[in-house]
Every structure is written in structure tokens, then in C-alpha cells.
Amino acid sequence: MTRNTVPRQKSLGMPDVTNPFVHELELSLRDKIQIAVMSVTIAPIRLVLVILLLLLAWPFAALAVAFRSEEDKLKPMSGWRLFLRPIVLVLCRGVFFAGGLYWVNVKGKQASSKDAPLLLLAPHSSFLDALPVVFLGLTSVVAKASTEQIMLFGTLTEFSQPVLVQREDPNSRLNTIKEIQRRAQSGGQWPQIIIFPEGTCTNRSCLITFKQGAFYPGVPVQPVCLKYPNRLDTVTWTWEGPGALKQLWLTLCQFYTRCEVEYLPVYHPSEEEKKDPKLFANNVRDAMAKCLGCPITDHTYDDCRLMSQAEKMKLPPNVGLVEFEKLHSKLGVTFNQLQEYMIRFREIKGSKHEKEKVAQISYEDFSNYLMLPQSEALREVFNLYDRDGSGKIDFREYVIGLSLVSAPVNQEDTIRLAFQLFDIDNKGHVTKGDLNHILKGAFKISDADVDKIFREVNTSNDGKITLDEFKSYAQKKPEYAKIFMTYQEMKEQHLQASVEKDTFSNGHAAEFKQWNAQTDESSKKLQ
């Protein structure tokens, strides 16, 4: 797959890889036979050896981290504790060897802690990425805070003197960046810090957005590319696909599992990159993507969170895959806004699609939600949302449409102008008759639908729509503003053309003049 870096960063087009968080594992008859045989022969022996070696490594790691004061934890491990490192390291490597990971093919050379305080590993795709960590000397890692609570592995993680982060806590993230900066600028006193800059597991089909924490210190980094060139991929563990325990067992049932580690040259940031961590991160990612021969996308961990949100709403998980980083940087959309938009998206889809778990909005859905009959104006606005011309709107297109099509015209002035057009006699409120006169005449809406819209807008149930109620409804359904303006523009264009050709009746001409007069009068009031 060819990389298309510059256009991808400048456009809102769909990514080359639509879902980097799914892994589909297809087993052939040969694979099934092999797994069945290995499950009752080799795999159980391997599992026993793995557990035994972990149990042997644990007391040495536990002893090394025992009796440390809070002050000691802020310093690199030294003294007699360091003498235990080779023992723990050999036993940990034995764990992977016993599990069938015999071969680690290495390219390039690992830099020293002084030359490159940070080692950046990507792509991150598996719990078996712990193998490169062990191979790199069980040096410090950036890990989730919950990792230290895992039996056996928690102690081994603590032994590496990790930098712990709680992803949902913004204060923890800030403290993590400060700690990375403190260690990175120690002049080689601390061991190198291993960071998986993607922040979550993918299927290795691309490199997603690198988090900027590793790049704030502005120190040299050494990129390290990871590959698992196996015929059957039993190591990938993503949000959708086989679970960790299943993948672990399938890996034990393979004759062997290979891993490739390639050290790239140390990347020294320029002065511009030191001032701009995002630029630094993107340039390092480009260098790694070139080495791996894979594309880049702007997906992040927040896309995974949106996938979980979609599942809670009984939507297909891939609905939440919107490339959050790109929408955030280009459109200013926040995560909380995306959650609100997803609720609207679910409302437009309606309950009739719940069993089918449809991930897109049709033109009919769009029309039904807005209670507007299908028309040229409605179709034009729908097409503005439908960026790929598929005849359907997915959630990503819906968010872009709201941001670029509907929201910009749904401003205070537009809402006031629309309200005054409905308020025919300048009463300061809109009656059901006023609403019926415009909607029925302009959009051919039935009396029943007009009545339903009126009840939705008139939340006070007093028979009068105030400006605040009108504004609140317009903000809830911003699509109306664009549709109303589109209809008005098309109406004027059609009538102007008819005037020039002298092919319309005097009644139509009067209607056009009356429409223009109302618009001019309302515009003057706004001024």
C-alpha cells in the first residue's frame, strides 16, 4: 500500500486503513489440526515452563524493589540491587524462549542512554511486545498504572522502574510528561525509557497518531520498528478480535514465533521540532512508517473510546472510528462534542435499524428525522454530508457535515432572521398558523408533521414559540438552518430564471416579490 502522507494530513478524506483496531484470524484445516495436536502435547509443557520461570524470576525482582524509601524510588537503581538484574533478565528471556519465541532478528544497533534517552517502539500490537522490552534489557517503560497490580507481572514491571500513567486522568498525563523530561535530561544516569508512542494496540496495518508526551523533552530519540513475520498471526491483540488468552494459547501451539527488531538511527530534533512536539512526533512517525512500508492515519486511543461508546448505544463499534486527532485539529471538535454528536446520529438512525446494527444514515432516515419530505433542497444538503457519494452518511461524515455545512450557518443572526420570517406579524412569537404557513407552503409539509414540529419546539406548551425556544431547537437540529437557506437560494434562483424567460404566472411573480420583501424587512431589523 502506497503512503500518501501530505494529502492525508491536509484533507479530511477517509484513511487508507479504515479500522486499525480489528484483527480477524482465519484458521485453515491444517492450522486446526496443528492446534489440536499441540494443545495436548507441546503447549501444556510450554505453559508449565513459562509459569515456572516467571515464579523463579519473581522473588529476585521482588527483592530488588523491596525496602525502598520514597526517595529511593526517585533515583536510578544502584548498589546490590543492580546485581540482581542479570538474573532477572535471563529468567525473563527464558520465559519467552519456553513459549516458542526462539528467534529475535535484530537490525541496526541500540544507542546508549546518553545518546538517546528514549526508545520509541512501534507499531504496538500485542502483549508479546514485552519480548522486545526484555530483549532491550528490561529497561524502564511507560505503562498504565494498573499494570503494577497484575500478579507476577506487576513486580517485574516495578523492577524496571517504570513511568506510570493513568490515561483517563489529565493530571497524571502531565506528571508523566514531567517525569519523562526529568529522566531524559539526566545525562544518561537513568536507564533508557521505552515508550510505545501510539498509546494503544493496533493490527500493524498502519501507524496511528503518536502521543506527544515522549517529544516534549526535545531530546534525541531512537525509533525501534517491530515486526512479527509469521505465517499465522497469533500475536495481534486489538479491540476487536480474539482475546488475549486465546491468542496466548494459539501462540503456544505454534512451532515457533518470530520477531524482528530494527533500530533506526538516533533522531536528533531540530530547533523547530523542539518547540513543536507535534511536528517532532509526526516526523519521527514518518521515518518509522517509511521503514515499515505502511501508511499513517490520525486515529488515536480516543477512537477506541468512541468505539466503546458506540457499542453502548447498540451501534456497530466501527461507527466510532473517526480519526479523532484529525477532526480535533482541523475542526476543533472535542471528545465530549463527539459523544453528543453520536447521540444525534443514533436518533437519526432511529430504532428501526437497531436489530440490523446499521452504521450509516440513508436519505430516507435523514428526511424522517427532520420531518421534511424529500426535496431538491434536502437532497442537496444530504449530498454535502455524503462526502464519498455513497448515498449513505457514516458517523465521520456526519461530524464533518455538522462542522462544515450546518453549524457555520446556524449562528445567532441566521436564527434571528429565520425566526422573524416565521413571525409574520412581528408579534415576538410564532404561532402554529405562522409555522404552518411557511413550512407547508415552502416545504410541502403535512399538517400532522407541522403539528409535531410545533410541539417539539414549543417546550412550554403555551401555544407560542418564543425566540429562545426557536433557538434551542435550531441548536438541537442545526441541519434545519442549512436546508432552509438552501431552499431559499434555490427558490430565488428558479424564480429569477422564470422572470427572465417570462414563463411564470403573475401569481408566482407576486410570491417571489413577497418573499424578497420579507427577507429585506427582516434583514433591516437585524441591522
Q: Among 395, 315, 320, 317, which residue's Cα sits nearest to residue 354? A: 315
Question: 15 preceded by cis ω (within 30°)?
Answer: no
pLDDT over 50 at 327, yes or no: yes
Q: Which tens digits make up the pLDDT trace of 62-85?
A: 999 898 888 888 888 888 888 898
Number of Cβ within 10 Å of residue 380's Cβ equals 15
| Least confident span in 113-117, 170-174, 463-467, 503-507 | 503-507
The residue with greater pLDDT, 124 or 497, is: 124
pLDDT over 90 at 202, yes or no: yes
DSSP state of 386: -
| Least confident span in 265-274, 328-337, 371-380 | 371-380
> Where in 336-440 does DSSP place strands (E)?
360-362, 392-394
The residue with greater pLDDT, 40 or 331, is: 40
- The reported pLDDT for the residue numbered 526 is 39
DSSP state of 362: E
Q: Average pLDDT for residues 310-317, to the nearest whole number?
A: 86
- Alpha carbons within 13 angstroms on the beta-carbon side of residue 382 total 25
Number of Cβ within 10 Å of residue 350's Cβ equals 14
pLDDT over 50 at 354, yes or no: yes
What percentage of the chain carries pLDDT values higher than 90? 35
Q: How would you classify residue 493: left for phi > 0, otherwise alpha for psi between -120 and 50, otherwise beta?
A: alpha
User: For residue 5, what pLDDT band results from cuts at 50, 70 and 90?
Assistant: very low
- The reported pLDDT for the residue numbered 123 is 96
Query: Highest mean pLDDT range out of 8-17, 139-148, 151-160, 253-262?
Result: 253-262
Per-residue cell: 140: 524502564
- Reported residue count of the chain is 527
| Coil, helix or strand at residue 262 | strand
362: which strand partners? 392
Q: Tell me how far apart the alpha carbons of residues 376 and 471 are, in angstroms, rounded to a whole number.
A: 25
Contact 307, 321 (CB under 8 A): yes
Q: Tell me how far apart the alpha carbons of residues 46 and 158 are, in angstroms, rounded to a whole number.
A: 26
Find the distance separating the first CA and the last CA of the chain, reported in whole Å. 55
Q: Which tens digits make up the pLDDT trace of 329-353?
A: 888 889 998 998 898 898 887 755 5
Q: Average pLDDT for residues 474-494, to the nearest whole number?
A: 76
User: For residue 49, what pLDDT band results from cuts at 50, 70 and 90?
Assistant: very high
> Where in 251-372 does DSSP place strands (E)?
258-263, 360-362
pTM, two decimal places: 0.79
Q: Average pLDDT for residues 294-316, to the nearest whole number?
A: 89
User: For residue 133, what pLDDT band results from cuts at 50, 70 and 90?
Assistant: confident
Helix (H) or strand (E) segment spanning residue 493: helix 479-501
Cα pseudo-dihedral 171, 176, 179, 183, rounded to 10: -170
Q: Tell me how far apart the alpha carbons of residues 396 and 371 are, in angstroms, rounded to a whole number.
A: 23
